[in-house]
Structure 1
Amino acid sequence: MDKLLSIGEAAEWLGVSPMTLRRWEASGKLMPERTAGNQRRYRLSQVDPTAALLPSSERKTLAYARVSSHDQKDDLERQKQVLELYCAQQGWTFELVSDLGSGMNYDKKGLKRLLNEIIAGHVGRLVITHKDRLLRFGAELVFSICEAKQVEVIIINKGEDTTFEEDLASDVLEIITVFSARLYGSRSRKNKKLLDGVKQAVEDSRT
């Protein structure tokens, strides 16, 4: 449970004076809660986010796998097997989280669960096969959150992902599909002609 601190305790924790905390409250920098008697109370997670984290021994290991499309389901299973074998070799108890969706899409069920668990302080270790399996762009932001929450990030293969070109092509196709549907309508002939051309270009790039 998140501990509540008095203004004196919070000031001591932060190494500032109670008057400084009152100024921060007035400026909106650090807002306390109020008791029934109108006394200020600060949550420990506000004052020091790392202090409210679970002990390392109680935090879980999450392994994350992702592919962009249904055509890559075999690769998803391969990723899962690699993650399971790696974690088992280290003797870690772990939970496997997976997504089937673009690396440019932040609104994936598995990714959102992953981020929520990390932010809540429940995760001590994150394991992925390649950096691009997390996100095509923006993985560094997730890694920064992990660092702030003291989450160890393990990337099994730091070399080039062998499915990079295929996965990137699927991501680009998805973006063009969305924007062309907005421009021309999802059922228009112009939209269909554009998508057919892009799909053919993608197929040609894979051969």
Structure 2
Amino acid sequence: MDRLVAIGEAAQTLGVSITTLRRWEAEGRLVPEHTAGNHRRYDLSKIKPELFFAGTDERRTIAYARVSSDDQKADLERQKQVLELYCARQGWTFEVIADLGSGMNYHKKGLKRLLDAVVDGRIGRLVITHKDRLLRFGAELVFAICEAKQVEVVILNQGEDTTFEEDLAKDVLEIVTVFSARLYGSRSRKNQKLLDGVKKAVEDSASC
């Protein structure tokens, strides 16, 4: 099956009229590619990915693990072991993607790789130990994308993550550190004193 098709075949595949496709294009909802002769061509792998990734062997299971800092590497290994054991028991063919970085950082290599695979329709299932292992804030948006792409999301523990407070403190500390680096450049003693106080408070709370 060709991935790029003319407007008539695309409309038939989606079960809509050609007029509807043209209206979607005008609204920016579905943007076709154009040939050298300026003919519309629609990529079925994007608008109907299940036609290309319908088999369980083709749409993989991805298990995702994350911790915030180097001193949590032992916890990262535990997460990976739990995920590997669970997926193996289900008989799934799977891959583990692991990140070391703040749950507030949306630019982690593993997370970007995971999201690219979801959007491209190459994943059929996402497995995580806790919701917060994916992102501190914004996990629901990722879950919505997964739902739109027909990706099953499996969360092994629906309760609160046992490392929540420690991990959140590290995430906040990272944000403070970034702002410190920026504001120190202004050589403002007031800013330095304020940020030093905030960092100390966060570090104290993390050690309690």
TM over 0.5: yes
RMSD: 2.5
The secondary structure found in structure 2 opposite 1:61 is strand
- Aligned equivalent of 1:161: 161
Secondary structure in 2 aligned to 1:92? coil
Alpha-carbon shift at residue 52 of structure 1 (Å): 4.2
Q: Is the 8 A contact 2:46 2:120 kept in 1?
A: no
Unaligned segments of structure 1, at least 5 residues: none
Work out the CA distance in 2 between the residues paired with 1:147 and 1:11: 23
Q: CA deviation at 1:73?
A: 1.3
Aligned to 1:99: 99
Which residue pairs with 1:150 in the alignment?
150
Secondary structure of 1:56's partner?
coil
In the TM superposition, residue 82 of structure 1 has moved relative to its aligned partner by 1.1
Instruction: Give the total of aligned pairs.
Output: 207
1:130 and 1:156 in contact (8 A); partners too: yes
| Structure 2 portions without partners, runs of 5+ | none
Q: Distance in 2 between matches of 1:143 and 1:46?
A: 18
Matches within 5 A, 1:1-207: 3-25=3-25, 28-45=28-45, 47-185=47-185, 193-205=193-205, 206-207=207-208
CA offsets per residue over residues 133-164 of structure 1, 9 Å max, x none?
00000001111111111111111111110000
Deviation at 1:108, TM superposition (A): 0.2
- What is the TM-score when the length of structure 2 is the normalising length? 0.85
In structure 2, do the counterparts of structure 1 residues 29 and 98 end up closer, same or farther at CA, with 3 Å as the change threshold? closer
2-structure distance, mates of 1:166, 1:187: 31
User: Does structure 2 retain, via aligned residues, the 8 Å contact 1:2–1:45?
Assistant: no
- Deviations along 1:154-180, whole A, 9 cap, x unmatched? 111111100000000011111111122
Deviation at 1:84, TM superposition (A): 1.4
Identity of aligned residues (%): 76
